Amino acid sequence: MIEPHGSTELSPRYVSDAARRAELAAEAKNLPSLLVNSAAAANAVMLGAGYFNPLTGFQDLADAISIAEKMHTADGLFWPVPVLNLTKDAAGLEPGMRVALRDPNVEGNPVLAVQTIEKIEQVDEATLTRIAEKVFGTLDPKHPGVATFMSLGNVLLSGPIDVLNYSYFEQEFPDTFRTATQIREDMGSRNWETVVAFQTRNPMHRAHEELCRMAKDTLNADGILIHMLLGKLKAGDIPAAVRDASIRKMAEVYFEPNTVLITGYGFDMLYAGPREAVLHAVFRQNAGCTHLIVGRDHAGVGSYYGPFDAQTIFHDEVPEGALKIKIFEADHTAYSKKLNRVVMMRDVPDHTPEDFVMLSGTKVREMLAAGQDLPPEFARPEVARILMKFYQEEAAAGR
């Protein structure tokens, strides 16, 4: 395993001492409170879980602008995406105050964290637009990440936080949600040193499965971390519980024991393409991984990014030595009818599109909703059955 980003040891913001946590919970009852948005709540969970090491809390405007423009904080720490607590109204709050941050994603809005407010800054529309354009590479309001970011508000509360819980993730995904610290401990108990991470917000089809094997074999890695996003997605994406079940079934049936660690993290998808790929690398380094698979259109959406922009950013914009984690650059993978196996397209220049088994997402959804089996070259039957049940239930409900 490798060192965390920006420090020699992880410093998660979750208050692990039960007595201290109880003290903070009691204090929070008498503090002014703020119902944060889901984006800020997700940032708090990631800070608490150690994925955003070495950050201690929400960043201020100077950091946000510096990160957007130059991918480093005002004091020089490499960081690709601002970690912010933006809100629409901070009435009654002042710098120096402590505030209880309430969770928008859990019934009753319990206290998620306590923040010490260092600054309260108004962010004008031009500055918000400037940050969004740099991070997302577009200002198209149809881009889900842009739409979310521009709706969060223009009051920025910065300062350190103490995290009291991990929102809904521990309860809803007890077998899957893991902190960076827990992943490091698990990999250590397995004596894994070289570990390749695979990021996913979707179910894993045959090509994804084989890509993980290719990376592991090429790097002579000890294991694979399949690390799935468990937070909010755009409309139409498959819910985390369905993805979790399908991925677990695939690993159980088709991977050798003690070669795959299946976990998830509590974050909302940004759909920020190249910038999000770099953020993925940062927090996989914090989880102890030595490599991250970055494939075609990593963390992208629609046609906003070039197919390999998420790879070129590591060459063109990430400074040498800024990260210890390495990138495994993958091409589009698909089943070759000629070779009877999954291949990377760049490795078979003699192939034509007709030589591959490829299905569009729309076609896959249509087939599964109609109860039609997917080709086994495209999806493992055990995985397809789980997805078919979901799509048939959606179709029956008229969704």
202 among known catalytic residues: yes
Using alpha carbons, select from 333, 122, 95, 110 the residue that is nearest to residue 214: 333
Gap between the Cα atoms of 335 and 51, Å rounded? 34
Gap between the Cα atoms of 172 and 169, Å rounded? 5
Q: Could you say which DSSP state residue 376 is in?
A: T
Residue of 109, 202, 213, 296 marked catalytic: 202
Bridge partners of 159, per DSSP, are 58
Using alpha carbons, select from 208, 175, 211 the residue that is nearest to residue 383: 208
30 among known catalytic residues: no
Using alpha carbons, select from 115, 52, 43, 101 the residue that is nearest to residue 283: 52
Residue of 184, 201, 275, 380 marked catalytic: 201
Q: Is the peptide bond before 104 cis (omega within 30 degrees of 0)?
A: no
Task: Work out the angle between the directed axes of helices 361-369 and 381-396 (0-180°, nearest 10).
Answer: 70
Greatest Cα-to-Cα distance within the chain, rounded to the nearest angstrom: 69
Q: Could you say which DSSP state residue 72 is in?
A: B
Q: Could you say which DSSP state residue 103 is in?
A: P
Catalytic residue numbers, as ranges: 201-202
